[in-house]
Amino acid sequence: MRVEILKVKLVNRENGLRALVDVKVDFEFREFRILQKNNGNPAVAVPQVSYKEAGRIMYNSIVILPEELRPTVNQAILSAYYRAKGEQHGTENK
């Protein structure tokens, strides 16, 4: 199975969100999130929908990846994120 990164949109939000990534694996998934964990390392999160329940904001995953596919998808997303970050830093220095 081939994993293709379609788009990386870098963001830098106070809540730790660092990027939104669109992925195609036989079909297309949009807006995987890259979050900065407390230890400073980025982590991939699947697309989610939010809703209110009893006054609290709740989240539900839109995509559930098979366990054997997760490492491949996560690696492809993080590699694209680091490339995009490098390209952004490269243009800032010119």
**Chain segment 54-93, per-residue pLDDT in tens:** 899 988 898 888 899 999 999 999 999 999 998 765 544 3
Cα 94 to Cα 81: distance, rounded to the nearest angstrom: 20
Q: Which residues pair with 34 in a beta bridge?
A: 19, 44
What share of the chain in percent tops pLDDT 90?
Answer: 43
Predicted TM-score (pTM) of the model is 0.70
In this prediction, residue 93 carries a pLDDT of 39
- CATH classification of the domain holding 67: 3.30.1120.40
Give the chain's domain count: 1
Q: CB 82: neighbour CB atoms within 10 A? A: 13
Task: Tell me the residue range of the domain where 67 lies.
Answer: 4-92
Average pLDDT, the chain: 86
